[in-house]
């Protein structure tokens, strides 16, 4: 069951409540709705010395979607979950369009200013705008959740592989194909290192196995540098021959395999810049931050029989993951970053010439484009109730887009705000299927 976030009269976060209790609080008039997205209740009284049980926010950062889950470590209950969709592609596309039309204008020798070339200095820690947008999305939600639920710690999937674990395989009787956490981590690492293809024949899209370069029967070790990924045919053809004998007629393959198996994965392939930046910024919140590897997340998820979803991955990241995760009937929020406004003052056509009029005021009669409103129209041709996102016009006759489709010419006097535009759109997702044992 998804729990509901509650704050007290002084806006201090309290323990999230069960939906039944929330309904009771609302119907008895002890609480009111403070915010729609995320849904937060506010108590109409001051909680006497609240000592909420600290809960953990878990994050699985992704390039398109980031999974968020708030988990109670003591009970294993997933309290709140969301999938946060980023708009990195849009940011990038917008900048490319701007660059294109600017170039076009300069090229035509109009009165547009000359390009400047000496303003290219980048501060240390600079991230591309599309990446910064993703980072800021996650930080925004960390801050929001901190205001509404008693977060005591953060877990984040930082690295793709746990290199320390891979370098110390002092485990007897390893089973590489299935089973151990080490096995999962190792397989994942090797597949990435060998680009998901057979080391000997470069075949892709077929089942791949782990092969010992120097066979174990001939004293070969289990170290990562002695392991390659091979298809079943090559693996069997090689058998327990040494590598030099197996590849005697293919010297260029031999050279490539020898070089690649010794080379460790670069840091960039293990932790990317955005994740590092996120990790640093999360540490700056003052909450204890725990980091986990991608292999650990996968291990946690598969051993618990959970489906592959972004928010479930988030709930599974980090070594602190409880043995039993309760996510029955937990419906995640699907949050999509939409941006707020444009800085561009006027639209341009494909050649970069201004079209239409300059941008109007951003606020008309108290409303901004993107606010979620309810309009109850009592007179005229458009009598009815409309709920949706508003598009403002200076004359006060707005456009409302919602489940009913798009309706135009609704005057501001009929509208009342439900949720002000905060740069995100929200839909309710479906609950995860039950765990497969």
Distance of closest approach, residue 229 Cβ to Zn ion, in angstroms: 9
Q: Which is nearer to Zn ion, 207 or 361 (CB)?
A: 207
At its nearest, how many Å lie between Zn ion and the CB of residue 202?
A: 7
Q: How far is the CB of 232 from Zn ion (least distance, A)?
A: 8
298 within 8 A of 191, measured Cβ to Cβ: no
Let me know: does 150 contact 55? Beta carbons within 8 Å.
yes
Q: By CB under 5 A, name the binding residues for Zn ion.
A: 198, 200-201, 203, 231, 234
Q: How far is the CB of 197 from Zn ion (least distance, A)?
A: 8
We find the least distance from the C-beta atom of residue 325 to Zn ion, in angstroms, to be 39
Q: 87 with 339: CB under 8 angstroms? A: yes
Closer CB to Zn ion, 203 or 273, in the complex: 203
* Of residues 200 and 414, the one with the C-beta less far from Zn ion: 200
Q: Which is nearer to Zn ion, 201 or 407 (CB)?
A: 201
Smallest separation (angstroms) from Zn ion to the CB of 210: 13
Measured distance CA(212)–CA(219) in Å, rounded: 10
Compute the C-alpha angle 279/280/282, nearest 5°. Answer: 65
User: What token pair was written down for 326?
Assistant: 């309760």
Q: How far is the CB of 230 from Zn ion (least distance, A)?
A: 5
In the complex with Zn ion, the residue whose CB is nearer, 110 or 236, is 236
Residue whose CB is less far from Zn ion, 189 or 200: 200
CB-wise, 186 or 198, nearer to Zn ion? 198
Distances (CA, A) of 336 to 14, 137, 173, 420, 426: 27, 10, 46, 15, 6
Q: In terms of CB distance, is 10 or 240 closer to Zn ion? A: 240
Alpha-carbon gap, residue 355 to 145, rounded angstroms: 42
Residue 276's SS3 state is helix
Question: 40 vs 257, which CB is nearer to Zn ion?
Answer: 257
The DSSP result for 13-80, as a single string, is: B---B-HHHHHHHHHTTSEEEEETTTTEEEESS--SS--PPPEEEEEE--SSEEEEEEEETTTTEEEE
Neighbour count for residue 176 (Cβ, 10 Å): 18
DSSP 120: -
Comparison of 236 and 320: residue with beta carbon closer to Zn ion: 236
Phi and psi of 136, rounded to 5°?
Answer: -65, -35
Minimum Å gap between C-beta 201 and Zn ion is 3
Q: Shortest distance, CB of residue 182 to Zn ion, whole angstroms?
A: 25
Q: Quick count: other Cβ atoms within 10 Å of Cβ 425?
A: 16
The pair of three-digit structure tokens given for residue 136, joined into one six-digit string: 């800021």
Residues 67, 310: Cα–Cα separation, whole Å: 5
| DSSP code, position 330 | P
Q: Give the Cβ contact number of residue 325 at 10 Å.
A: 22
Tell the smallest beta-carbon distance from residue 235 to Zn ion (Å): 8
């Amino acid at each position: 069951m998804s729990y509901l976030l509650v704050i007290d009269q002084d806006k201090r976060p309290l323990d999230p409540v069960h939906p039944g209790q929330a309904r009771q609080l609302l119907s008895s008039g002890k609480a009111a709705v403070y915010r729609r997205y995320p849904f937060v209740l506010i108590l109409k009284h001051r909680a006497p010395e609240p000592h909420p049980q600290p809960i953990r926010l878990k994050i699985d950062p992704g390039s398109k979607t980031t999974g968020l889950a708030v988990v109670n470590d003591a009970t294993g209950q997933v309290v709140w979950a969301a999938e946060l969709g980023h708009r990195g592609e849009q940011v990038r596309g917008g900048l490319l369009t701007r660059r294109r039309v600017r170039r076009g204008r300069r090229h035509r020798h109009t009165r547009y200013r000359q390009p400047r070339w000496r303003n290219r200095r980048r501060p240390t820690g600079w991230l591309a705008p599309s990446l910064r947008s993703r980072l800021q999305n996650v930080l925004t939600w960390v801050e929001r959740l901190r205001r509404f639920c008693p977060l005591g710690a953060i877990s984040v999937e930082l690295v793709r592989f746990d290199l320390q674990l891979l370098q110390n395989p002092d485990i007897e009787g390893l089973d590489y194909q299935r089973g151990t956490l080490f096995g999962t981590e190792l397989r994942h690492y090797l597949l990435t290192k060998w680009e998901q293809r057979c080391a000997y024949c470069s075949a892709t899209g077929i089942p791949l196995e782990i092969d010992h370069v120097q066979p174990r029967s001939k004293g070969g070790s289990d170290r990562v540098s002695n392991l390659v990924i091979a298809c079943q045919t090559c693996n069997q053809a090689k058998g327990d021959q040494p590598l030099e004998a197996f590849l005697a007629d293919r010297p260029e393959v031999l050279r490539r395999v020898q070089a690649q198996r010794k080379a460790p994965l670069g840091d960039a392939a293990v932790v990317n810049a955005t994740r590092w930046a996120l990790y640093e910024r999360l540490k700056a919140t003052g909450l204890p931050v725990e980091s986990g590897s991608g292999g650990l997340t996968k291990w946690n998820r598969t051993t618990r029989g959970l489906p592959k979803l972004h928010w479930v991955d988030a709930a599974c990241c980090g070594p602190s993951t409880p043995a039993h995760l309760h996510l029955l009937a937990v419906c995640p929020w699907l949050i999509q970053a939409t941006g707020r406004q444009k800085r561009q003052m006027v639209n341009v056509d494909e050649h970069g010439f201004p079209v239409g009029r300059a941008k109007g005021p951003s606020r008309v009669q108290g409303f901004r484009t993107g606010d979620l409103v309810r309009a109850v129209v009592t007179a005229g041709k458009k009598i009815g109730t409309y709920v949706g996102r508003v598009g403002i016009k200076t004359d006060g006759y707005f456009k409302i887009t919602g489940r009913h489709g798009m309706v135009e010419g609704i005057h501001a006097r009929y509208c009342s705000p439900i949720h002000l535009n905060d740069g995100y759109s929200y839909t309710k997702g479906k609950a995860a299927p039950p765990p497969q044992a």
